[in-house]
Amino acid sequence: MNEKQENQAKQELKPNKFLNGPGFGLAFMGAFYLFWWLIIAFEELLQDPRWAHNLAYAIILLTVGLAFYQKSVVSRLIAMIQAFMLPIVGSGSFNTTILSIITIIIFALWIIIVILEKKKDKNFLEAKLQKRTWIWLNLHTLILAWILIAHMGLMFIIVRFPIESQLYTYNPIAGYLVNLPPESLEFGTWVFDITLFIWAFIAIGEQFKLGYNVKNKPWPKYSFYMAMICMGASLIALLIQQFTIGFDWVSTIYP
């Protein structure tokens, strides 16, 4: 083996210290999402509490993103349950403020579990499960959580968007509009949902490429880059909307 091949082999075996993959991208996205709605757009949230669904989305993204770093069946099961909240929130079937509180409770439970596991230096259920089962659950609970996150775009584009105009014309708070605001011409919503869907495909593809990754090989960074593109493109879309149809387009489109 020549020197070039040896260096390449060492590089492949070198652990990715910060694992700048799907977990870091999601966690950063969720934290930024929270910052946006609690600091920058908080006044809009107060004026129309229906925007609270974004708080739930942010907490879900943050929980699933952080669960990437805790290879524990219990912590990832909780993250998967948290991800199940996303299509529920996105459907507009329930009060999104209450749903946001529920996601906060689930996130707090996840933190408690992780702290207990770290403190005891022992993961719950690990001793009671076969190693193969343990590894399988760690992998697939997280993948299912990513698939559920992709439902953010599906719930908007397939479920809500086709009937929004009809519902609003009938009654501004008809159907799901009682819990979710009109978003059919929100540029940021379209861009974020589409790019997040692409992110899910990339992240799942990376995971299947690495398999169980028991040796903690370096994680591809494409999913991390896609998460950054998702946020950056969404901010650009908001800027474009501001200088085109504006943020008060509802009163113009739905008179």
Q: In this predicted model, what pLDDT tens digit does every residue of 165-198 receive, in sequence order? A: 999 999 999 999 999 999 999 999 999 999 999 9
pLDDT at 39: 93
26 torsion bin: left (phi>0), alpha (psi -120 to 50), beta (else): alpha
Which pTM does this prediction carry? Answer: 0.89
Assigned token pair, 131: 């190693």
Q: Flag whether 136 is in a domain.
A: yes
Does some domain include residue 5? no
Residue 7 forms part of a structural domain: no
199, 147 Cβ separation under 8 angstroms: no
| Number of residues in the chain | 255
Whose tokens are 């076969």? That residue is: 130
Domain that holds residue 215: 18-253
For residue 156, pLDDT over 50 is answered with yes
Cα separation, 63 vs 108, whole angstroms: 9
Please state the domain count of the chain.
1
DSSP, res 249: H
Structural domain includes residue 3: no
The DSSP 8-state label assigned to residue 178 in this structure reads G
Q: Are 7 and 43 in contact (CB under 8 A)?
A: no
User: Where does the pLDDT of residue 12 fall: very low under 50, low under 70, confident under 90, or very high at 90 and above?
Assistant: very low
Q: Any idea which residue has 């719950």 for tokens? A: 124
112 inside domain: yes
Which comes out higher in pLDDT, residue 7 or 215? 215
Integer Cα distance of 192 and 152 in angstroms: 9
Residue 4 lies in a domain: no
Tokens 């739930």, residue?
Answer: 56
Confidence class of residue 125 from pLDDT cuts 50, 70 and 90? Answer: confident
- 1 within some domain: no
Distance CA 212, CA 133 (A): 12
Alpha-helix runs per DSSP H in 36-95: 42-47, 53-67, 73-91
Lowest mean pLDDT among 4-18, 44-58, 161-175, 208-222: 4-18
pLDDT band at 2 (very low <50, low <70, confident <90, very high): low
The model's confidence at residue 131, banded by pLDDT at 50, 70 and 90, is confident
